[in-house]
Amino acid sequence: METHGFQVKGAIDAETRCKHYYSEADRVAIKFFCCNSYYPCYQCHREYGCGQTALWPREKFDEKAILCGNCGAELTIDNYFEAESACPLCRASFNPGCKLHKHLYFSS
């Protein structure tokens, strides 16, 4: 699905929700390091992705890899971690539970 001019594989609505995570606050897509493509979650990447897994290295946390499904802002990984579960531009809430899965996307 295309949202805010970006292709988000596995998304089921314009705010990047998917069949796995679809609460009001589930409006973030993550660009996977291994394939440079946006997915709403690790399960969508597993289902529709490149078949590989690669974590974002810490030294690349200044690159844009997070998409706000509400306003379409691309955030750096550092911006996302600093955002306190809301988009720093439009203030739309993000699911705070996503932080439980950060080890699936990002190196520590």
pTM: 0.96
pLDDT, tens digit (0-9, with 9 covering 90-100), for 63-78: 999 999 999 999 999 9
User: Alpha helices, DSSP H only, in the chain?
Assistant: 42-48, 77-82
Decide if 49 contacts 35 (C-beta within 8 A): yes
pLDDT tens track for 27-45: 999 999 999 999 999 999 9
pLDDT band at 21 (very low <50, low <70, confident <90, very high): very high
